[in-house]
Chains A and B, each alone.
Chain A
Amino acid sequence: NAGVTQTPKFQVLKTGQSMTLQCAQDMNHEYMSWYRQDPGMGLRLIHYSVGAGITDQGEVPNGYNVSRSTTEDFPLRLLSAAPSQTSVYFCASRKGGTSGNTIYFGEGSWLTVV
């Protein structure tokens, strides 16, 4: 049972480039989300999904796109990378309903935009 898996772990991008951060979970969780964490700051919600085909915006969605074609995968796309998007990105998932108490996080993806 791998839990929440994020790839890549480290990435350096040039301004204007696009890329996709991958997130997969093998726990059959309905809910998945992406957070970013800037140095010394808390987590900020980018986008989230309550099931396949359903996504919604979080606190800081601008510059990012998501899709949820399967229950397992929730990729985060940076359309045109900017230095302000330099951050650590965490993917998370949890089970739906009243039994979905615990949020499980991936190990993070460190992104630097130069």
Chain B
Amino acid sequence: DAKTTQPPSMDCAEGRAANLPCNHSTISGNEYVYWYRQIHSQGPQYIIHGLKNNETNEMASLIITEDRKSSTLILPHATLRDTAVYYCIVRVNTGGFKTIFGAGTRLFVKA
């Protein structure tokens, strides 16, 4: 699975959009981009994933660049409860399960 690079931490004002970047310059054609988050010491929670096209669900939007070498997770109206560590992962959808998590980005949402 390709490696990812994320900033270690970011701040965001409550009510504003939080834009979390992720670089994955060695991504392969069959690898998807996944985002998870971990609130405090709970188990990580799935947010969203995509292959080429931008994706949106009730939690967030995922913007993937045309060359697929980077992506951005957007939380449109961040709340204090969105304070968490956000992990960007790239992996294939089939085959083995050797999913590697990096250090992630620690997002602080401030009132």
Contacts and interface: CB of A to CB of B under 8 A. Distances in A.
**A and B held together in a complex:** yes
A43 B101 contact: yes
Contacts of B42: 107-108
A42 B94 contact: no
Contact of B104 (A42, A92, A103): A42
Interface residues of B, number: 23
Interface in B75-111: 85, 87, 93-94, 96-104
A50 B92 CA distance: 14
A43 B99 CA distance: 10
A101 B55 CA distance: 14
B98 A45 contact: yes
A13 to B, nearest CB: 19
A41 interface: yes
Interface string A89-101: 0101010111011
Nearest to B101: A43
B87 A103 contact: no
B21 interface: no
A49 to B, nearest CB: 8
A102 B93 CA distance: 10
B101 A50 contact: no
A48 B98 contact: yes
Nearest to A45: B100
Contacts of B49: 101
A56 B97 CA distance: 10
23 contacts: A32-B97, A33-B99, A41-B103, A42-B85, A42-B101, A42-B102, A42-B103, A43-B44, A48-B97, A56-B96, A90-B43, A94-B97, A96-B94, A101-B34, A101-B49, A102-B46, A103-B36, A103-B44, A103-B99, A104-B46, A106-B43, A107-B42, A108-B42
